[in-house]
Amino acid sequence: MSPPRRFPAEQFLNRELSLLAFNQRVIAQAADGRVPLLERLRFLCIVSSNLDEFFEIRVAGLKEQLKLGSHAAGADGMPPLEVFRRVTEQAHQLIGEQYALLNDEILPALEKEGIAFFRRSLWTNEQRAWIRGYFHKEVMPVLTPIGLDPSHPFPRVLNKSLNFAVELEGTDAFGRSSGAAIVQAPRALPRVIRLPKELCGVDYGFVFLSSVLHEYVDELFTGMHVLGCYQFRVTRNSDLFVDDEEVKNLRIALQGELPQRHFGDAVRLEVADNCSEIMTDFLLQQFGLERSDLYRVPGIVNLVRLMSVPDRVDRPDLMYAPFQPGLPKVLTKRYDIFASIRKHDILMHHPFQSFTPVIQLLQQAADDPQVVAIKMTVYRTGTDSVLMEHLLRAAEKGKEVTVVVELMARFDEEANLSIAARLEQVGAHVVYGVVGYKTHAKMLMVLRREDQGYRRYIHLGTGNYHPRTTRFYTDFGLLTANPEIGEDVNEVFKQLTGLGKAGALKHLWQAPFSLHSKMLAAIQAEIEAARAGKSARIIAKMNSLLEPEIITALYEASQAGVKIDLIVRGVCSLRPGVKGLSENIRVRSVIGRFLEHHRIFYFHAGGQQNIYLSSSDWMERNFFRRIEICFPVLEPKLKQRVLKEGLKPYLADNCQAWEMDSSGEYRIKPTKRPRISAQERLLKDMGVSVVSVT
């Protein structure tokens, strides 16, 4: 095997810093006064959720490298210590901006709209009486204060849980005077508590659980004097480790590993900004952290908890207008899903078009006596998925149901274990793919007995089989009865459930076998066309772009004169617009109401306009450590739809599209042209029914 190619470090941007830059763009949505107010709050919460995972996985990985003394640099040439230093600096800055926006703009604006969060210092006597009653009835009975002394060591603190460090003075009934205690807030307690309207003077009044505990914490320590009470939260390494070489049963190994996720090594400590230096140093020492790992925040230490507020407030005028997704024209009347698919391929564009046809395909397959088998991959689907209910019913009716469940889908492991157990109980075949390779491909195959023999009905998608996320993730799904695509999908399922060499596929590109080489070949074909003086064009839309060989091929294509547009929502290591290297490459990131999630790859291909849809980003893990598929759009009308709906609006967007410059900085370029938002245009042009809130 030839050694991996090395490329000049200056040609690549750092992954972690690029990920923080993405969250900076999300914060800009929260700062945008044109965005409905409660949605601005939601964007701030999304940033906090993103940062939690960033610390749990990416920063945790950096700290592991530092612990091992690694000096190995990534493709960008930056050693781990320098990456950690810059990440820490930018993360502190970003979190500072986040809280400033919350405290100085969003909360005051919400209060003007009759949605108030009451501070302890401003509680009225009536509010105080109600809150105290709530504390005694709902909060105090479930609290377990832990005084710190030789028989009560510092407790094991759950990952991302809300806790309070209490400084005390005096002695208790046993003569103990440790001076400190820890109070852990049970996860069953709501973090945001709504007050009765008659006590608020506004339509919606809330208090934080942290404020309630601060106010009445002294009642937990009878006869002691509370000197200070400080909320804190620790973030831990949450990356699961399962030894691919030693594991004998993946499910059992994972079940043994999951409980430890809550107690991995600490990577970040968040404390309220009023926390004393003595207590701060004590907490850092307990968690084995340095000052650089400390994040002082002016407010609650977990903004994710505010995510529930928009759903608890009946103010549709402060949220995005609800809409009713449409259906492809062929499915707008009462229909037989199998007959519709036999007639021609059906392309669905979520969330502008409903995910219902996929659900109905499974529903009709479960009830149709002609259907003999169903096979499906599950990466993320939710714990209460209607899709799973149809699969369970199909298995109960005696159909051959095979489900490839990816147990290592990060943060969905427990849900997927539960799904696997339920399916096995009703006789479905449940397999866990291939150890060492995550099954990330999105495939559903229904085998039906018909007059001419067996026919396969296929659904392939760019997103998960998760009915909830299809309402706010942009994705494409294809329904087809094309026999050659059906053979390809069947071949991939054979690999996942059985043993044997990978067979040649007619249409699908598959990782880890052909996807990388096919992508490189498609780029190379555009290079050769450009060098021959012919038209050459590449447009690619994805979540992340990191793989060095693909990036290098794109640089070569740019130098050959290929015009390249990259629409990369999140992390991008490629530098566009560098003279002599990437002058013909433009990179943009669209951030808006919906999470941009489709992966679309367009190659001019001498006028054939080859278009592929995929579950895969252009990342090393997707190409080499995952089972992914990339499938062609074959029907000309559907190709034009992908261009019209999935690419051209995003290239025309001038208000939510951030352009990247050669240094890696993103900006929305000012323009005097009429405002164009890709997502708003698609809502309008695709005939989606937007519900009026006026």
What is the spatial distance between Cα 320 and Cα 313, in angstroms, rounded to a whole number?
A: 13
Strand partners, 231: 164
Q: Residue 392: inside a domain, yes or no?
A: yes
Rounded to 5°, the CA angle 181-182-188 comes to: 145
Q: Residue 210: inside a domain, yes or no?
A: yes
| Domain edge (last residue) among 272, 295, 318 | 318
Query: Active-site residue 390, yes or no?
Result: no
Q: Which of 579, 569, 565 is nearest to 652 (CA)?
A: 565
522 and 562, same domain (yes or no) = yes
521 and 488, same domain (yes or no) = no
| Better-scored residue on pLDDT, 73 or 132 | 132
Q: Which of 290, 250, 564 is nearest to 437 (CA)?
A: 250
Q: Residue 111: inside a domain, yes or no?
A: yes
Band (612; pLDDT cuts 50, 70, 90): very high
The sign of the torsion formed by the CA atoms of 25, 31, 34, 36 equals: positive
Phi/psi of residue 295, nearest 5 degrees: -125, 105
307 and 336, same domain (yes or no) = no
557 and 501, same domain (yes or no) = no
Q: Which of 543, 532, 538, 507 is nearest to 622 (CA)?
A: 543
Whether the per-residue pLDDT at 371 is higher than 70: the answer is yes
Alpha carbon of 325 to those of 35, 76, 387, 601: distances in Å? Answer: 21, 42, 19, 25
3-state secondary structure of 468: coil
118 and 152, same domain (yes or no) = yes
Complete DSSP assignment for 609-624: -EEEEES--BSHHHHH
Give the start-end residues of each E strand in 237-318.
266-272, 294-297
Band (63; pLDDT cuts 50, 70, 90): very high
Complete DSSP assignment for 627-650: EEEEEE--SHHHHHHIIIIIIHHH
The answer to whether the beta carbons of residues 359 and 387 sit under 8 Å apart is yes
Q: DSSP state, 263?
A: G
For the residues 117-137, what does the mean pLDDT come to?
A: 95
Q: Which residues of 192-215 are buried (b: 16+ CB within 10 A; e: fewer)?
A: bbebeeebbebebbbbbbbbbbbb
What is the spatial distance between Cα 81 and Cα 70, in angstroms, rounded to a whole number?
A: 9
Q: Which residues contact 657 (CB under 8 A, 6 or more apart)?
A: 588, 589, 590, 650, 668, 678
Q: Among 231-245, 337-351, 670-684, whose mean pLDDT is lowest? A: 231-245
Band (21; pLDDT cuts 50, 70, 90): very high
Band (179; pLDDT cuts 50, 70, 90): confident
CATH of the domain at 38: 3.30.1840.10
Q: Residue 675: inside a domain, yes or no?
A: yes
What is the spatial distance between Cα 622 and Cα 602, in angstroms, rounded to a whole number?
A: 19
**Pairing mode, strands 400-405 and 429-431:** parallel
For the residues 445-460, what does the mean pLDDT come to?
A: 96
Helix (H) or strand (E) holding 377, with range, is strand 371-378
What is the spatial distance between Cα 319 and Cα 334, in angstroms, rounded to a whole number?
A: 33
3-state secondary structure of 365: helix
Q: Which residues contact 525 (CB under 8 A, 6 or more apart)?
A: 603, 605
Q: Which of 219, 145, 222 is nearest to 184 (CA)?
A: 145
Q: Residue 156: inside a domain, yes or no?
A: yes
Share of the chain above pLDDT 70, in %: 91
What is the spatial distance between Cα 459 and Cα 446, in angstroms, rounded to a whole number?
A: 9
- Given the residues 440, 516, 597, 604, select the one marked as catalytic: 440
Whether the per-residue pLDDT at 85 is higher than 80: the answer is yes
Q: Which of 647, 658, 676, 679 is nearest to 564 (CA)?
A: 647
Between the ranges 318-332, 364-378, 675-689, where is the mean pLDDT highest? Answer: 364-378
The answer to whether the beta carbons of residues 541 and 599 sit under 8 Å apart is yes
Band (71; pLDDT cuts 50, 70, 90): confident
- Please tell me the predicted confidence (pLDDT) of residue 177: 64
Q: Residue 243: inside a domain, yes or no?
A: yes
116-125 tens-digit pLDDT? 999 999 999 9
Phi/psi of residue 655, nearest 5 degrees: -130, -20
Alpha carbon of 516 to those of 39, 289, 302: distances in Å? Answer: 39, 40, 40
Q: Which of 170, 182, 234 is nearest to 213 (CA)?
A: 182
475 and 515, same domain (yes or no) = no
Whether the per-residue pLDDT at 407 is higher than 80: the answer is no
Band (672; pLDDT cuts 50, 70, 90): confident
pTM: 0.92
- How crowded is residue 157: how many other Cβ atoms within 10 Å of its Cβ? 21
- Please tell me the predicted confidence (pLDDT) of residue 383: 63
300 and 168, same domain (yes or no) = yes
304 and 331, same domain (yes or no) = no
Whether the per-residue pLDDT at 254 is higher than 80: the answer is no
35 and 170, same domain (yes or no) = yes
| Domain edge (last residue) among 506, 541, 573 | 506
Task: Count up the domains in the chain and report the number.
Answer: 3
Q: Which residues contact 266 (CB under 8 A, 6 or more apart)?
A: 234, 235, 236, 237, 287, 288, 289, 293
What is the spatial distance between Cα 393 and Cα 425, in angstroms, rounded to a whole number?
A: 12
Q: Give CB contacts under 8 A, 24+ apart, made by 690-694.
A: 690/321, 690/322, 690/323, 691/321, 691/322, 691/323, 691/324, 692/321, 693/316, 693/317, 693/319, 693/321, 693/322, 694/317
- The residue range of the domain holding 441 is 324-506
The letter for the amino acid at 465 is Y
**Structure tokens of 553?**
């091929």
The letter for the amino acid at 351 is P
Alpha carbon of 354 to those of 323, 474, 678: distances in Å? Answer: 11, 11, 18
Q: Residue 4: inside a domain, yes or no?
A: no
DSSP H helices in 397-514 = 413-425, 483-497
Q: Which residues of 380-413 are buried (b: 16+ CB within 10 A; e: fewer)?
A: bbbeebebbebbbbbbeeebebbbbbbbbbeebb
Q: Residue 3: inside a domain, yes or no?
A: no
- Average pLDDT of every residue of the chain: 90
| Domain edge (last residue) among 449, 480, 506 | 506
Q: Which residues contact 384 (CB under 8 A, 6 or more apart)?
A: none
CATH of the domain at 491: 3.30.870.10
**Structure tokens of 211?**
């404020």
- Please tell me the predicted confidence (pLDDT) of residue 244: 45
What is the spatial distance between Cα 480 and Cα 467, in angstroms, rounded to a whole number?
A: 20
For the residues 168-182, what does the mean pLDDT come to?
A: 75
- Please tell me the predicted confidence (pLDDT) of residue 670: 82
- Please tell me the predicted confidence (pLDDT) of residue 413: 60
Rounded to 5°, the CA angle 607-613-615 comes to: 155
The answer to whether the beta carbons of residues 602 and 647 sit under 8 Å apart is yes
- Please tell me the predicted confidence (pLDDT) of residue 2: 47
What is the spatial distance between Cα 250 and Cα 44, in angstroms, rounded to a whole number?
A: 37
554-576 tens-digit pLDDT? 999 999 999 999 999 999 999 99
603 and 635, same domain (yes or no) = yes
Complete DSSP assignment for 484-524: HHHHHHHHHHHHHHS-SPPPP-SS-EEETTTHHHHHHHHHH
3-state helix, strand, coil in the chain (%, to 5): 40, 25, 35
What is the spatial distance between Cα 200 and Cα 174, in angstroms, rounded to a whole number?
A: 43
197 and 82, same domain (yes or no) = yes
Q: DSSP state, 401?
A: E
What is the spatial distance between Cα 246 and Cα 663, in angstroms, rounded to a whole number?
A: 44
631 and 651, same domain (yes or no) = yes
Phi/psi of residue 95, nearest 5 degrees: -65, -35
Q: Which residues contact 303 (CB under 8 A, 6 or more apart)?
A: 44, 45, 47, 48, 98, 102
**Structure tokens of 637?**
């009308």
